[in-house]
Structure 1
Protein backbone atom coordinates (compact mmCIF):
# COMPACT_ATOMS: atom_id res chain seq x y z
CA UNK A 1 0.00 0.00 0.00
CA UNK A 2 1.04 3.59 -0.58
CA UNK A 3 0.26 5.76 2.44
CA UNK A 4 -0.17 9.16 0.86
CA UNK A 5 1.12 12.20 2.73
CA UNK A 6 1.54 15.66 1.20
CA UNK A 7 1.15 18.87 3.18
CA UNK A 8 3.46 21.20 1.34
CA UNK A 9 5.79 21.61 -1.64
CA UNK A 10 9.14 21.12 0.03
CA UNK A 11 9.19 18.48 2.80
CA UNK A 12 11.52 15.52 2.26
CA UNK A 13 10.24 13.59 -0.76
CA UNK A 14 9.82 9.80 -0.38
CA UNK A 15 7.70 8.72 -3.39
CA UNK A 16 6.81 10.36 -6.69
CA UNK A 17 5.33 9.63 -10.12
CA UNK A 18 7.65 10.85 -12.88
CA UNK A 19 6.18 11.11 -16.39
CA UNK A 20 7.70 9.45 -19.45
CA UNK A 21 8.65 10.58 -22.94
CA UNK A 22 9.40 7.43 -24.95
CA UNK A 23 6.40 7.45 -27.30
CA UNK A 24 4.91 10.88 -27.82
CA UNK A 25 3.88 10.15 -31.37
CA UNK A 26 4.30 12.39 -34.40
CA UNK A 27 4.72 16.15 -34.05
CA UNK A 28 1.21 17.56 -33.49
CA UNK A 29 -0.38 19.77 -36.12
CA UNK A 30 -0.21 23.48 -35.35
CA UNK A 31 -3.95 23.65 -34.58
CA UNK A 32 -3.67 20.68 -32.18
CA UNK A 33 -1.34 22.49 -29.75
CA UNK A 34 -2.62 22.82 -26.16
CA UNK A 35 -0.56 25.92 -25.40
CA UNK A 36 1.14 28.79 -27.27
CA UNK A 37 4.70 27.63 -26.58
CA UNK A 38 4.18 24.20 -28.15
CA UNK A 39 2.52 25.94 -31.11
CA UNK A 40 5.57 28.17 -31.49
CA UNK A 41 7.92 25.19 -31.71
CA UNK A 42 5.62 23.22 -34.04
CA UNK A 43 5.63 26.21 -36.39
CA UNK A 44 9.41 26.72 -36.14
CA UNK A 45 10.20 23.02 -36.70
CA UNK A 46 11.92 22.86 -33.30
CA UNK A 47 9.38 20.67 -31.50
CA UNK A 48 11.24 18.36 -29.09
CA UNK A 49 12.21 14.81 -30.06
CA UNK A 50 11.38 11.81 -27.86
CA UNK A 51 15.00 10.73 -27.44
CA UNK A 52 16.07 14.18 -26.23
CA UNK A 53 13.23 14.37 -23.74
CA UNK A 54 13.86 10.82 -22.54
CA UNK A 55 17.46 11.75 -21.84
CA UNK A 56 16.32 14.77 -19.84
CA UNK A 57 13.82 12.77 -17.78
CA UNK A 58 16.40 10.07 -17.12
CA UNK A 59 18.63 12.74 -15.60
CA UNK A 60 15.84 13.62 -13.16
CA UNK A 61 15.26 9.94 -12.36
CA UNK A 62 18.97 9.67 -11.50
CA UNK A 63 18.81 12.61 -9.10
CA UNK A 64 15.72 11.15 -7.41
CA UNK A 65 17.48 7.80 -7.08
CA UNK A 66 20.49 9.54 -5.52
CA UNK A 67 18.19 10.84 -2.76
CA UNK A 68 16.51 7.43 -2.28
CA UNK A 69 13.14 8.56 -3.57
CA UNK A 70 10.82 5.81 -4.78
CA UNK A 71 10.00 6.61 -8.40
CA UNK A 72 6.90 5.30 -10.20
CA UNK A 73 6.50 5.72 -13.96
CA UNK A 74 3.31 5.49 -16.03
CA UNK A 75 3.07 2.48 -18.32
CA UNK A 76 3.79 3.49 -21.89
CA UNK A 77 0.92 4.27 -24.27
CA UNK A 78 2.02 4.31 -27.89
CA UNK A 79 2.02 7.74 -29.58
CA UNK A 80 0.66 9.55 -26.51
CA UNK A 81 2.15 12.43 -24.54
CA UNK A 82 2.66 11.26 -20.93
CA UNK A 83 5.29 13.75 -19.81
CA UNK A 84 3.33 15.96 -17.45
CA UNK A 85 2.19 13.69 -14.63
CA UNK A 86 1.39 16.68 -12.39
CA UNK A 87 -1.59 17.61 -14.58
CA UNK A 88 -3.50 14.37 -14.22
CA UNK A 89 -3.73 14.04 -10.43
CA UNK A 90 -2.38 15.46 -7.21
CA UNK A 91 -2.19 14.59 -3.52
CA UNK A 92 -3.29 16.75 -0.60
CA UNK A 93 -2.86 15.24 2.86
CA UNK A 94 -3.81 11.57 2.32
CA UNK A 95 -6.23 12.17 -0.56
CA UNK A 96 -5.46 11.30 -4.18
CA UNK A 97 -7.38 13.73 -6.37
CA UNK A 98 -7.93 12.85 -10.00
CA UNK A 99 -7.86 16.04 -12.04
CA UNK A 100 -10.45 17.06 -14.60
CA UNK A 101 -8.17 17.55 -17.56
CA UNK A 102 -8.60 18.17 -21.27
CA UNK A 103 -10.65 15.37 -22.82
CA UNK A 104 -7.86 14.49 -25.28
CA UNK A 105 -5.62 13.52 -22.36
CA UNK A 106 -8.01 11.24 -20.47
CA UNK A 107 -6.01 8.04 -21.16
CA UNK A 108 -3.10 9.29 -19.06
CA UNK A 109 -4.73 8.41 -15.75
CA UNK A 110 -5.25 4.78 -16.81
CA UNK A 111 -1.50 4.48 -17.36
CA UNK A 112 -0.85 4.90 -13.63
CA UNK A 113 -3.42 2.32 -12.56
CA UNK A 114 -0.63 0.22 -11.00
CA UNK A 115 0.00 3.16 -8.66
CA UNK A 116 -3.66 3.91 -7.95
CA UNK A 117 -4.29 0.25 -7.09
CA UNK A 118 -1.90 0.62 -4.14
CA UNK A 119 -3.96 3.47 -2.67
CA UNK A 120 -6.87 2.98 -0.26
CA UNK A 121 -9.94 3.42 -2.56
CA UNK A 122 -11.69 5.56 0.07
CA UNK A 123 -8.89 8.15 -0.37
CA UNK A 124 -9.42 8.56 -4.14
CA UNK A 125 -11.48 11.58 -5.15
CA UNK A 126 -12.84 12.64 -8.53
CA UNK A 127 -14.04 16.17 -9.18
CA UNK A 128 -17.49 16.88 -10.62
CA UNK A 129 -17.71 17.37 -14.38
CA UNK A 130 -18.06 21.16 -14.22
CA UNK A 131 -15.13 21.66 -11.83
CA UNK A 132 -12.01 21.86 -13.98
CA UNK A 133 -8.69 21.48 -12.21
CA UNK A 134 -5.09 20.48 -12.99
CA UNK A 135 -2.27 19.71 -10.56
CA UNK A 136 -0.03 22.50 -11.83
CA UNK A 137 -2.50 24.99 -10.33
CA UNK A 138 -2.64 23.41 -6.86
CA UNK A 139 -0.07 23.94 -4.10
CA UNK A 140 -0.64 22.69 -0.55
CA UNK A 141 1.26 24.91 1.87
CA UNK A 142 0.59 24.06 5.51
CA UNK A 143 -2.75 25.61 6.54
CA UNK A 144 -3.19 26.96 3.02
CA UNK A 145 -3.88 25.58 -0.42
CA UNK A 146 -2.77 28.01 -3.12
CA UNK A 147 -4.76 27.61 -6.34
CA UNK A 148 -4.17 29.20 -9.75
CA UNK A 149 -7.39 29.92 -11.63
CA UNK A 150 -9.00 32.17 -14.19
CA UNK A 151 -12.04 34.18 -13.09
CA UNK A 152 -13.07 35.67 -16.45
CA UNK A 153 -16.48 35.10 -18.07
CA UNK A 154 -14.53 34.19 -21.21
CA UNK A 155 -12.97 31.16 -19.45
CA UNK A 156 -14.23 28.79 -22.17
CA UNK A 157 -12.40 30.69 -24.90
CA UNK A 158 -8.99 29.89 -23.38
CA UNK A 159 -7.52 26.41 -23.90
CA UNK A 160 -4.87 27.72 -21.49
CA UNK A 161 -7.41 28.27 -18.67
CA UNK A 162 -7.25 24.96 -16.84
CA UNK A 163 -8.74 25.51 -13.37
CA UNK A 164 -12.08 27.25 -12.84
CA UNK A 165 -13.80 28.74 -9.81
CA UNK A 166 -16.14 25.73 -9.48
CA UNK A 167 -13.04 23.68 -8.74
CA UNK A 168 -11.76 26.21 -6.21
CA UNK A 169 -15.11 26.04 -4.39
CA UNK A 170 -15.13 22.24 -4.53
CA UNK A 171 -11.62 22.13 -3.06
CA UNK A 172 -12.82 24.26 -0.15
CA UNK A 173 -15.64 21.76 0.50
CA UNK A 174 -13.18 18.85 0.45
CA UNK A 175 -10.76 20.59 2.81
CA UNK A 176 -12.92 22.80 5.07
CA UNK A 177 -10.10 23.11 7.63
CA UNK A 178 -7.72 24.64 5.04
CA UNK A 179 -7.60 28.22 3.79
CA UNK A 180 -8.01 28.13 0.02
CA UNK A 181 -6.29 31.12 -1.57
CA UNK A 182 -6.96 31.51 -5.30
CA UNK A 183 -5.06 33.63 -7.81
CA UNK A 184 -6.38 34.96 -11.11
CA UNK A 185 -3.71 34.17 -13.71
CA UNK A 186 -2.93 35.85 -17.00
CA UNK A 187 -3.94 33.68 -19.98
CA UNK A 188 -3.12 33.81 -23.67
CA UNK A 189 -3.82 31.21 -26.35
CA UNK A 190 -1.28 32.73 -28.71
CA UNK A 191 1.59 34.49 -26.87
CA UNK A 192 3.64 32.24 -24.57
CA UNK A 193 5.31 35.19 -22.79
CA UNK A 194 1.85 36.44 -21.79
CA UNK A 195 0.51 33.09 -20.59
CA UNK A 196 0.72 31.62 -17.09
CA UNK A 197 -0.57 28.16 -17.96
CA UNK A 198 -0.62 27.07 -14.31
CA UNK A 199 0.24 28.68 -10.97
CA UNK A 200 3.62 26.90 -11.00
CA UNK A 201 4.47 28.77 -14.22
CA UNK A 202 4.61 32.08 -12.35
CA UNK A 203 5.11 31.17 -8.68
CA UNK A 204 6.60 28.48 -6.47
CA UNK A 205 7.36 28.27 -2.75
CA UNK A 206 10.74 26.86 -1.72
CA UNK A 207 12.27 25.70 1.54
CA UNK A 208 13.82 28.18 4.00
CA UNK A 209 10.79 30.47 3.61
CA UNK A 210 11.78 31.50 0.07
CA UNK A 211 9.69 31.71 -3.11
CA UNK A 212 10.05 32.35 -6.85
CA UNK A 213 7.51 34.74 -8.37
CA UNK A 214 6.66 36.53 -11.62
CA UNK A 215 4.57 39.63 -10.99
CA UNK A 216 3.07 39.89 -14.49
CA UNK A 217 1.65 36.37 -14.29
CA UNK A 218 -1.04 37.67 -11.91
CA UNK A 219 -4.04 39.65 -13.20
CA UNK A 220 -4.90 41.14 -9.81
CA UNK A 221 -2.11 43.12 -8.21
CA UNK A 222 -3.49 42.64 -4.67
CA UNK A 223 -3.23 38.86 -5.05
CA UNK A 224 0.40 39.14 -6.12
CA UNK A 225 1.05 41.56 -3.22
CA UNK A 226 -0.58 39.11 -0.81
CA UNK A 227 1.97 36.43 -1.77
CA UNK A 228 4.91 38.80 -1.53
CA UNK A 229 3.75 39.89 1.94
CA UNK A 230 3.13 36.29 2.98
CA UNK A 231 6.69 35.22 2.15
CA UNK A 232 8.36 38.61 2.73
CA UNK A 233 9.75 40.70 -0.09
CA UNK A 234 13.35 39.86 0.81
CA UNK A 235 12.56 36.13 0.45
CA UNK A 236 11.05 36.39 -3.04
CA UNK A 237 13.13 35.88 -6.17
CA UNK A 238 11.43 37.87 -8.93
CA UNK A 239 11.78 36.44 -12.41
CA UNK A 240 11.56 38.38 -15.67
CA UNK A 241 9.11 37.73 -18.49
CA UNK A 242 11.84 35.86 -20.40
CA UNK A 243 12.67 33.75 -17.32
CA UNK A 244 8.99 32.96 -16.87
CA UNK A 245 8.83 31.94 -20.54
CA UNK A 246 11.80 29.63 -19.88
CA UNK A 247 9.94 28.22 -16.85
CA UNK A 248 12.28 29.40 -14.08
CA UNK A 249 9.57 29.07 -11.43
CA UNK A 250 8.97 25.44 -12.36
CA UNK A 251 11.76 23.83 -10.34
CA UNK A 252 11.14 20.92 -7.95
CA UNK A 253 12.04 20.53 -4.28
CA UNK A 254 13.30 17.17 -2.97
CA UNK A 255 13.60 18.64 0.54
CA UNK A 256 13.68 22.10 2.17
CA UNK A 257 17.39 22.27 1.27
CA UNK A 258 17.55 20.50 -2.10
CA UNK A 259 16.10 21.80 -5.39
CA UNK A 260 16.24 20.25 -8.86
CA UNK A 261 16.66 23.04 -11.42
CA UNK A 262 17.39 23.46 -15.12
CA UNK A 263 21.10 23.92 -15.77
CA UNK A 264 20.60 27.06 -17.89
CA UNK A 265 18.83 28.98 -15.10
CA UNK A 266 22.08 30.73 -14.22
CA UNK A 267 20.66 33.71 -12.32
CA UNK A 268 18.19 31.60 -10.33
CA UNK A 269 20.65 28.81 -9.54
CA UNK A 270 23.26 31.33 -8.34
CA UNK A 271 20.66 32.92 -6.04
CA UNK A 272 19.51 29.53 -4.72
CA UNK A 273 23.09 28.61 -3.80
CA UNK A 274 23.57 31.99 -2.14
CA UNK A 275 20.51 31.17 0.00
CA UNK A 276 22.15 27.90 1.06
CA UNK A 277 20.27 25.46 -1.19
CA UNK A 278 21.86 22.44 -2.82
CA UNK A 279 20.98 22.80 -6.51
CA UNK A 280 20.84 19.60 -8.57
CA UNK A 281 21.14 20.86 -12.14
CA UNK A 282 19.66 18.87 -15.01
CA UNK A 283 19.13 19.58 -18.73
CA UNK A 284 15.40 20.16 -19.30
CA UNK A 285 15.24 22.74 -22.10
CA UNK A 286 13.62 20.36 -24.62
CA UNK A 287 10.77 19.53 -22.26
CA UNK A 288 10.37 23.27 -21.57
CA UNK A 289 9.30 23.70 -25.21
CA UNK A 290 5.90 22.24 -24.24
CA UNK A 291 5.34 24.92 -21.59
CA UNK A 292 6.14 22.69 -18.62
CA UNK A 293 9.20 21.85 -16.58
CA UNK A 294 10.33 19.98 -13.48
CA UNK A 295 7.30 20.46 -11.25
CA UNK A 296 4.99 19.62 -14.15
CA UNK A 297 6.63 16.25 -14.81
CA UNK A 298 6.53 15.08 -11.18
CA UNK A 299 3.58 14.13 -8.98
CA UNK A 300 4.62 13.66 -5.33
CA UNK A 301 2.85 10.93 -3.37
CA UNK A 302 4.70 10.98 -0.05
CA UNK A 303 6.65 13.70 1.72
CA UNK A 304 7.74 13.47 5.36
Structure 2
Protein backbone atom coordinates (compact mmCIF):
# COMPACT_ATOMS: atom_id res chain seq x y z
CA UNK A 1 0.00 0.00 0.00
CA UNK A 2 1.32 3.47 -0.90
CA UNK A 3 0.85 5.93 1.96
CA UNK A 4 0.67 9.21 0.07
CA UNK A 5 1.96 12.43 1.58
CA UNK A 6 2.69 15.70 -0.20
CA UNK A 7 2.30 19.00 1.66
CA UNK A 8 4.66 21.24 -0.30
CA UNK A 9 7.00 21.38 -3.28
CA UNK A 10 10.32 21.05 -1.54
CA UNK A 11 10.35 18.53 1.35
CA UNK A 12 12.50 15.41 1.02
CA UNK A 13 11.17 13.36 -1.88
CA UNK A 14 10.64 9.63 -1.26
CA UNK A 15 8.48 8.43 -4.17
CA UNK A 16 7.66 9.91 -7.58
CA UNK A 17 6.23 8.97 -10.97
CA UNK A 18 8.71 10.04 -13.65
CA UNK A 19 7.40 10.16 -17.22
CA UNK A 20 9.02 8.33 -20.10
CA UNK A 21 10.16 9.35 -23.59
CA UNK A 22 10.41 5.76 -24.86
CA UNK A 23 8.15 4.94 -27.82
CA UNK A 24 7.26 8.61 -28.03
CA UNK A 25 5.90 8.49 -31.57
CA UNK A 26 6.55 10.69 -34.61
CA UNK A 27 6.72 14.48 -34.61
CA UNK A 28 3.13 15.77 -34.25
CA UNK A 29 1.43 17.52 -37.13
CA UNK A 30 0.69 21.26 -36.87
CA UNK A 31 -2.93 20.53 -35.94
CA UNK A 32 -1.81 18.18 -33.15
CA UNK A 33 0.30 20.78 -31.31
CA UNK A 34 -1.07 21.38 -27.80
CA UNK A 35 0.93 24.54 -27.13
CA UNK A 36 2.68 27.37 -29.03
CA UNK A 37 6.22 26.24 -28.19
CA UNK A 38 5.74 22.77 -29.66
CA UNK A 39 4.14 24.42 -32.68
CA UNK A 40 7.14 26.73 -33.10
CA UNK A 41 9.53 23.75 -33.18
CA UNK A 42 7.30 21.65 -35.45
CA UNK A 43 7.28 24.55 -37.96
CA UNK A 44 11.03 25.12 -37.64
CA UNK A 45 11.90 21.44 -38.05
CA UNK A 46 13.60 21.44 -34.63
CA UNK A 47 11.06 19.33 -32.72
CA UNK A 48 12.92 16.97 -30.35
CA UNK A 49 13.62 13.38 -31.37
CA UNK A 50 13.01 10.37 -29.13
CA UNK A 51 16.60 9.23 -28.60
CA UNK A 52 17.68 12.67 -27.31
CA UNK A 53 14.73 12.90 -24.94
CA UNK A 54 15.31 9.38 -23.60
CA UNK A 55 18.90 10.36 -22.74
CA UNK A 56 17.68 13.49 -20.91
CA UNK A 57 15.05 11.60 -18.92
CA UNK A 58 17.51 8.88 -17.95
CA UNK A 59 19.88 11.53 -16.61
CA UNK A 60 17.01 12.83 -14.47
CA UNK A 61 16.19 9.28 -13.32
CA UNK A 62 19.83 8.78 -12.33
CA UNK A 63 19.79 11.88 -10.11
CA UNK A 64 16.58 10.72 -8.41
CA UNK A 65 18.13 7.29 -7.80
CA UNK A 66 21.27 8.92 -6.38
CA UNK A 67 19.06 10.40 -3.65
CA UNK A 68 17.35 7.03 -2.98
CA UNK A 69 14.00 8.14 -4.36
CA UNK A 70 11.58 5.35 -5.36
CA UNK A 71 10.88 6.01 -9.04
CA UNK A 72 7.79 4.64 -10.79
CA UNK A 73 7.45 4.85 -14.58
CA UNK A 74 4.26 4.68 -16.69
CA UNK A 75 3.50 1.53 -18.64
CA UNK A 76 4.40 2.10 -22.28
CA UNK A 77 1.80 3.10 -24.82
CA UNK A 78 2.78 2.58 -28.46
CA UNK A 79 3.79 5.81 -30.27
CA UNK A 80 2.61 8.11 -27.55
CA UNK A 81 4.00 11.07 -25.59
CA UNK A 82 4.12 10.09 -21.90
CA UNK A 83 6.73 12.55 -20.69
CA UNK A 84 4.58 14.96 -18.71
CA UNK A 85 3.11 12.97 -15.82
CA UNK A 86 2.51 16.18 -13.86
CA UNK A 87 -0.55 16.91 -16.01
CA UNK A 88 -2.40 13.69 -15.35
CA UNK A 89 -2.72 13.68 -11.58
CA UNK A 90 -1.48 15.21 -8.36
CA UNK A 91 -1.34 14.55 -4.63
CA UNK A 92 -2.53 16.96 -1.94
CA UNK A 93 -1.81 15.68 1.59
CA UNK A 94 -2.77 11.98 1.27
CA UNK A 95 -5.31 12.30 -1.57
CA UNK A 96 -4.58 11.37 -5.19
CA UNK A 97 -6.60 13.53 -7.58
CA UNK A 98 -6.95 12.37 -11.18
CA UNK A 99 -6.86 15.28 -13.59
CA UNK A 100 -9.55 15.92 -16.15
CA UNK A 101 -7.08 16.38 -18.97
CA UNK A 102 -7.49 16.92 -22.70
CA UNK A 103 -9.64 13.95 -23.77
CA UNK A 104 -7.09 12.44 -26.14
CA UNK A 105 -4.61 12.11 -23.25
CA UNK A 106 -6.89 9.91 -21.14
CA UNK A 107 -4.83 6.77 -21.83
CA UNK A 108 -1.90 8.36 -19.97
CA UNK A 109 -3.89 7.84 -16.77
CA UNK A 110 -4.46 4.18 -17.68
CA UNK A 111 -0.68 3.77 -17.98
CA UNK A 112 -0.20 4.63 -14.28
CA UNK A 113 -3.24 2.65 -13.09
CA UNK A 114 -0.93 -0.01 -11.61
CA UNK A 115 0.40 2.69 -9.25
CA UNK A 116 -3.07 4.05 -8.41
CA UNK A 117 -4.08 0.46 -7.55
CA UNK A 118 -1.53 0.56 -4.71
CA UNK A 119 -3.35 3.51 -3.09
CA UNK A 120 -6.31 3.17 -0.72
CA UNK A 121 -9.32 3.58 -3.12
CA UNK A 122 -10.94 5.98 -0.65
CA UNK A 123 -7.95 8.29 -1.16
CA UNK A 124 -8.37 8.46 -4.96
CA UNK A 125 -10.64 11.20 -6.34
CA UNK A 126 -11.88 11.90 -9.85
CA UNK A 127 -13.49 15.35 -10.26
CA UNK A 128 -16.75 15.69 -12.21
CA UNK A 129 -16.53 16.34 -15.93
CA UNK A 130 -17.00 20.13 -15.84
CA UNK A 131 -14.01 20.48 -13.52
CA UNK A 132 -10.82 21.12 -15.51
CA UNK A 133 -7.60 20.90 -13.57
CA UNK A 134 -4.02 19.82 -14.33
CA UNK A 135 -1.16 19.16 -11.94
CA UNK A 136 1.05 21.86 -13.45
CA UNK A 137 -1.43 24.43 -12.16
CA UNK A 138 -1.50 23.06 -8.60
CA UNK A 139 1.25 24.04 -6.21
CA UNK A 140 1.36 23.21 -2.51
CA UNK A 141 2.88 25.46 0.09
CA UNK A 142 2.04 23.92 3.48
CA UNK A 143 -1.30 25.56 4.43
CA UNK A 144 -1.61 27.10 0.98
CA UNK A 145 -2.68 25.60 -2.33
CA UNK A 146 -1.78 27.88 -5.25
CA UNK A 147 -3.76 27.21 -8.43
CA UNK A 148 -3.16 28.65 -11.89
CA UNK A 149 -6.30 29.36 -13.91
CA UNK A 150 -7.62 31.53 -16.73
CA UNK A 151 -10.58 33.80 -16.05
CA UNK A 152 -11.11 35.13 -19.58
CA UNK A 153 -14.60 34.70 -21.04
CA UNK A 154 -12.91 33.02 -24.03
CA UNK A 155 -11.57 30.16 -21.84
CA UNK A 156 -13.14 27.46 -24.03
CA UNK A 157 -11.28 28.63 -27.14
CA UNK A 158 -7.84 28.30 -25.51
CA UNK A 159 -6.20 24.88 -25.68
CA UNK A 160 -3.53 26.47 -23.44
CA UNK A 161 -6.10 27.17 -20.68
CA UNK A 162 -6.04 23.95 -18.67
CA UNK A 163 -7.63 24.74 -15.29
CA UNK A 164 -10.97 26.49 -14.92
CA UNK A 165 -12.62 28.19 -11.94
CA UNK A 166 -14.69 25.04 -11.32
CA UNK A 167 -11.32 23.34 -10.75
CA UNK A 168 -10.43 25.96 -8.14
CA UNK A 169 -13.79 25.57 -6.39
CA UNK A 170 -13.44 21.78 -6.41
CA UNK A 171 -10.14 21.98 -4.52
CA UNK A 172 -11.60 24.52 -2.07
CA UNK A 173 -14.45 22.12 -1.30
CA UNK A 174 -12.16 19.11 -0.99
CA UNK A 175 -9.69 20.88 1.34
CA UNK A 176 -11.71 23.33 3.47
CA UNK A 177 -8.79 23.78 5.88
CA UNK A 178 -6.37 24.97 3.20
CA UNK A 179 -5.90 28.52 1.96
CA UNK A 180 -6.69 28.05 -1.73
CA UNK A 181 -5.53 30.98 -3.86
CA UNK A 182 -6.03 31.11 -7.62
CA UNK A 183 -3.86 33.06 -10.06
CA UNK A 184 -5.14 34.35 -13.40
CA UNK A 185 -2.44 33.47 -15.95
CA UNK A 186 -1.49 35.04 -19.27
CA UNK A 187 -2.32 32.72 -22.18
CA UNK A 188 -1.35 32.73 -25.84
CA UNK A 189 -2.05 30.20 -28.56
CA UNK A 190 0.63 31.59 -30.85
CA UNK A 191 3.52 33.11 -28.84
CA UNK A 192 5.21 30.81 -26.33
CA UNK A 193 7.00 33.79 -24.74
CA UNK A 194 3.62 35.15 -23.68
CA UNK A 195 2.02 31.89 -22.62
CA UNK A 196 2.01 30.64 -19.04
CA UNK A 197 0.70 27.18 -19.89
CA UNK A 198 0.56 26.26 -16.19
CA UNK A 199 1.34 28.07 -12.94
CA UNK A 200 4.74 26.33 -12.80
CA UNK A 201 5.66 28.13 -16.03
CA UNK A 202 5.80 31.44 -14.16
CA UNK A 203 6.22 30.58 -10.47
CA UNK A 204 7.61 27.88 -8.19
CA UNK A 205 8.68 27.81 -4.55
CA UNK A 206 12.18 26.54 -3.73
CA UNK A 207 13.69 25.77 -0.35
CA UNK A 208 11.88 26.82 2.79
CA UNK A 209 11.02 30.43 1.97
CA UNK A 210 12.16 31.24 -1.58
CA UNK A 211 10.67 31.16 -5.05
CA UNK A 212 11.24 31.72 -8.76
CA UNK A 213 8.79 34.11 -10.39
CA UNK A 214 7.95 35.75 -13.73
CA UNK A 215 5.92 38.88 -13.08
CA UNK A 216 4.41 39.18 -16.56
CA UNK A 217 2.97 35.66 -16.37
CA UNK A 218 0.14 37.00 -14.21
CA UNK A 219 -2.78 38.84 -15.79
CA UNK A 220 -3.40 40.78 -12.58
CA UNK A 221 -0.60 42.58 -10.77
CA UNK A 222 -2.46 41.88 -7.51
CA UNK A 223 -1.80 38.16 -7.96
CA UNK A 224 1.92 38.79 -8.37
CA UNK A 225 1.87 41.13 -5.35
CA UNK A 226 0.17 38.42 -3.26
CA UNK A 227 3.23 36.19 -3.72
CA UNK A 228 5.64 39.06 -3.11
CA UNK A 229 3.87 39.78 0.19
CA UNK A 230 3.91 36.10 1.17
CA UNK A 231 7.53 35.31 0.30
CA UNK A 232 9.18 38.75 0.50
CA UNK A 233 10.64 40.36 -2.61
CA UNK A 234 14.21 39.62 -1.48
CA UNK A 235 13.40 35.89 -1.47
CA UNK A 236 12.09 35.80 -5.04
CA UNK A 237 14.29 35.24 -8.07
CA UNK A 238 12.74 37.24 -10.92
CA UNK A 239 13.19 35.67 -14.34
CA UNK A 240 13.08 37.44 -17.70
CA UNK A 241 10.67 36.77 -20.59
CA UNK A 242 13.35 34.71 -22.34
CA UNK A 243 14.16 32.76 -19.15
CA UNK A 244 10.45 32.07 -18.69
CA UNK A 245 10.31 30.83 -22.30
CA UNK A 246 13.22 28.47 -21.56
CA UNK A 247 11.26 27.22 -18.48
CA UNK A 248 13.53 28.50 -15.67
CA UNK A 249 10.68 28.28 -13.15
CA UNK A 250 10.13 24.59 -13.91
CA UNK A 251 13.02 23.04 -12.03
CA UNK A 252 12.40 20.28 -9.46
CA UNK A 253 13.15 19.97 -5.75
CA UNK A 254 14.36 16.68 -4.28
CA UNK A 255 14.79 18.31 -0.86
CA UNK A 256 14.57 21.74 0.70
CA UNK A 257 18.23 22.30 -0.22
CA UNK A 258 18.59 20.09 -3.33
CA UNK A 259 17.22 21.00 -6.77
CA UNK A 260 17.51 19.47 -10.22
CA UNK A 261 17.96 22.19 -12.84
CA UNK A 262 18.76 22.57 -16.53
CA UNK A 263 22.50 23.08 -17.04
CA UNK A 264 21.99 26.17 -19.22
CA UNK A 265 20.11 28.12 -16.51
CA UNK A 266 23.34 29.86 -15.53
CA UNK A 267 21.90 32.90 -13.77
CA UNK A 268 19.34 30.89 -11.82
CA UNK A 269 21.75 28.10 -10.87
CA UNK A 270 24.29 30.63 -9.57
CA UNK A 271 21.59 32.31 -7.46
CA UNK A 272 20.54 28.93 -6.07
CA UNK A 273 24.11 28.05 -5.12
CA UNK A 274 24.62 31.49 -3.57
CA UNK A 275 21.58 30.72 -1.43
CA UNK A 276 22.97 27.40 -0.19
CA UNK A 277 21.30 24.96 -2.57
CA UNK A 278 22.94 21.89 -4.07
CA UNK A 279 22.16 22.15 -7.79
CA UNK A 280 22.11 18.91 -9.76
CA UNK A 281 22.53 20.14 -13.34
CA UNK A 282 21.36 18.02 -16.26
CA UNK A 283 20.64 18.61 -19.95
CA UNK A 284 16.90 18.97 -20.55
CA UNK A 285 16.75 21.49 -23.37
CA UNK A 286 15.25 19.09 -25.94
CA UNK A 287 12.30 18.21 -23.73
CA UNK A 288 11.76 21.92 -22.98
CA UNK A 289 10.84 22.43 -26.66
CA UNK A 290 7.45 20.94 -25.75
CA UNK A 291 6.79 23.69 -23.18
CA UNK A 292 7.53 21.45 -20.21
CA UNK A 293 10.59 20.79 -18.10
CA UNK A 294 11.63 18.99 -14.93
CA UNK A 295 8.62 19.67 -12.71
CA UNK A 296 6.28 18.78 -15.58
CA UNK A 297 7.92 15.35 -15.95
CA UNK A 298 7.24 14.34 -12.33
CA UNK A 299 4.28 13.38 -10.19
CA UNK A 300 5.43 13.29 -6.52
CA UNK A 301 3.66 10.73 -4.34
CA UNK A 302 5.52 10.93 -1.03
CA UNK A 303 7.55 13.71 0.56
CA UNK A 304 8.69 13.64 4.20
TM band (smaller chain)? over 0.9
Structure-to-structure mapping, 1:167-246, within 5 angstroms: 167-246=167-246
Deviation at 1:140, TM superposition (A): 1.3
**1:122-155, CA deviations, whole angstroms, 9 ceiling, x for partnerless residues?**
0000011001000000011111100000011100
Q: Distance in 2 between matches of 1:100 and 1:291?
A: 19
**1:78-137, CA deviations, whole angstroms, 9 ceiling, x for partnerless residues?**
111100000000000000000000011010000011111100000000011001000000
Q: Paired residue for 1:56?
A: 56
Unaligned runs of 5+ in 2: none
1:105 is paired with a residue of what secondary structure? helix
Q: Distance in 1 between matches of 2:228 and 2:288?
A: 26
2:25 is paired with a residue of what secondary structure? coil
Q: TM-score, normalised by structure 1?
A: 0.99
Q: Distance in 2 between matches of 1:25 and 1:79?
A: 4
Q: Distance in 1 between matches of 2:140 and 2:215?
A: 21
Q: Distance in 1 between matches of 2:61 and 2:277?
A: 20
Q: Distance in 2 between matches of 1:218 and 1:163?
A: 15
1:254 is paired with a residue of what secondary structure? strand
Q: Distance in 2 between matches of 1:281 and 1:114?
A: 31
Q: Distance in 2 between matches of 1:192 and 1:181?
A: 25
Q: Paired residue for 2:100?
A: 100
Q: Distance in 2 between matches of 1:115 and 1:91?
A: 13
1:292 is paired with a residue of what secondary structure? coil
Of 11-20 and 110-119, the range deviating more from structure 2: 110-119
Unaligned runs of 5+ in 1: none
Q: Paired residue for 2:44?
A: 44
Deviation at 1:23, TM superposition (A): 1.1
User: Hey, which bits of structure 1, 4+ residues long, moved more than 2 A?
Assistant: none
2:293 is paired with a residue of what secondary structure? coil
Structure-to-structure mapping, 1:1-304, within 5 angstroms: 1-304=1-304
